[in-house]
Amino acid sequence: MSIEQRSSKTSTAPSLVAQHYWMVLVVVLVADVMDLVDSTVANLAGPSIRADLGGGDTTLQWVLAAYTTAFALGLVTSGRLGDLFGRRRMFLVGMAGFTLASLACGLAPGAGWLIVARVLQGLFGAVMIPQGLALVKVAFPPEELGKAFIPFGPVMGLAGVAGPILAGWLIDANLAGSHWRAIFLINVPIGVVAFALAWRCLPHETGENRNARLDLRGVTLLTLASAMLMVPLVQGRELGWPAWTWVLMIGSLGVFALFVRSERRSNHPVIEPSLFQKRSFVVGLVVIAAFFTALTGFTLAFNLLMQLGLGWTPLHSGLSLIPWALGTAIGAGLAGAFLAAKLGRATLQLGLGIALIGMIGLWWSVGHFGTDLTSWSVAPALLVSGFGSGLVFVPLFGYILGDVSEAEVGTGSGLLNAVQQFSGAIGVAALGTLFFSRVELDGGFVGATQVVLVCATVLYAVTLALVGLLPKVTQEEHA
């Protein structure tokens, strides 16, 4: 969730606030869980979607990357939309749109329809999610605000563990012939109830800034540059890498440069230009990009190995990922509870080192057991890798933002969230393309998975090397 919005507390009637503020938290948590589950379970459902709707490997990659790409691009501007039109209004628009887009995904008659619906899901999710924290800050009395953030870690950790299991069960159960469609349709009743609660409980006073403006030129340049990078990454392999794919990818760098130049001259920049003058923040962007590209590429390749390579069912695959999800939840819990406060920035180095060892162990297990791989044979490496990743998740943003000013922290956090999501899309596009290329080359899912795991390991090593360049204190400690 973005921490972009720093809302002022209003003097609403205490009795009214006391009656509703915990329900506001419930609504925001439901929205966050819906986003988390929808951004991850499609990995598990990908092979089933392709088998039902047809299309090639690139179709599967687009189904996965469409959501995260749209979500990342939407995050860049959604905080400013909250300033312009109000947090409550934008949250309701996002929830309604996300629910309808989920229905469209579940009813998709073909792959093209599904990809467009996933784009809409991502855009509306990006409108909804960043407003949540501002609404919680407005709704809760100052003396209760600290308690409001306690449930986020456990709830999101539980969702991360339960999401793949629920998705696998829904696909295998094939309720009313819904098969993979159920993972999207389940959002509809949840979204309707959440919208009704939000309409009733969300505060109207949300501290929006009526003087804010939207930098349309900056948004256009950023969207164009991102599209010029993503389209050839996904489509290039299937088309034989024609010249236009290379022209677009190289050209995207120029458009990104134009975006940075435009931001420096804008009176209402999408991203504060001063952020790019801070070495630690720029290094942090590289850390985020490498870490989440590796993470997404690894989960995609492993899901494809389990279902396409080994013939496991979605439920079997989901259950097999429990050690990774459990390790992540434990690591995040320990980091949030005391480890980050005790070890400081070294928590990141410890977590990345453990995750790297787990990834090497997973590479060895896949190669050693090959097609005789079982859930138990990879469980130890998945647990170790997940535990290390969990140690990184909680404190990472705080240290990247360690040198930014109070005025920059909102925009900086929003940009980090956007880069995280976009890196997930790059992981699907680039490492997914590498995976399918290796499968075509030697016909082996085991070898293709090992290649992706090597790339993920290298990216983890790069991240570990760069973490030492981040600030030694978090933004809160610095302030």
Contact 460, 295 (CB under 8 A): no
Q: pLDDT per residue over 338-379, tens digit each?
A: 888 898 889 999 999 999 999 999 999 999 999 999 999 999
Buried b (16+ CB within 10 A) or exposed e, 30-60: bbbbbbbbbbbbbbbbbbbbbeebebebbbb
Tokens of 277: 């003058």
pLDDT at 434 over 60: yes
What integer best gives the mean pLDDT of the chain?
84
What are the DSSP calls for 79-106, one per residue? HHHHHHH-HHHHHHHHHHHHHHHHHHHH
Q: pLDDT per residue over 78-110, tens digit each?
A: 767 777 788 888 899 999 999 999 999 999 999
pLDDT at 3 over 50: no
| Three-state DSSP state, 232 | helix
Which position has the higher pLDDT, 267 or 52? 52
Q: Report the percent of the chain where pLDDT is more than 70.
A: 88
Q: What is the pLDDT of residue 5?
A: 37
Residues 6+ apart with CB under 8 A from 353: 388, 464
pTM score, whole prediction:
0.82
Instruction: For domain 272-479, give the fold.
Output: Growth Hormone; Chain: A; (1.20.1250)
Residue whose tokens read 């009813």: 107
Return the CATH number of the domain spanning residue range 1-214: 1.20.1250.20
Q: pLDDT per residue over 270-327, tens digit each?
A: 777 788 888 888 999 999 999 999 998 898 899 999 999 999 998 899 899 889 988 9
Tell me phi and psi for residue 359, to 5 degrees.
-65, -40
Which position has the higher pLDDT, 146 or 456? 456
Tokens of 99: 């629910």
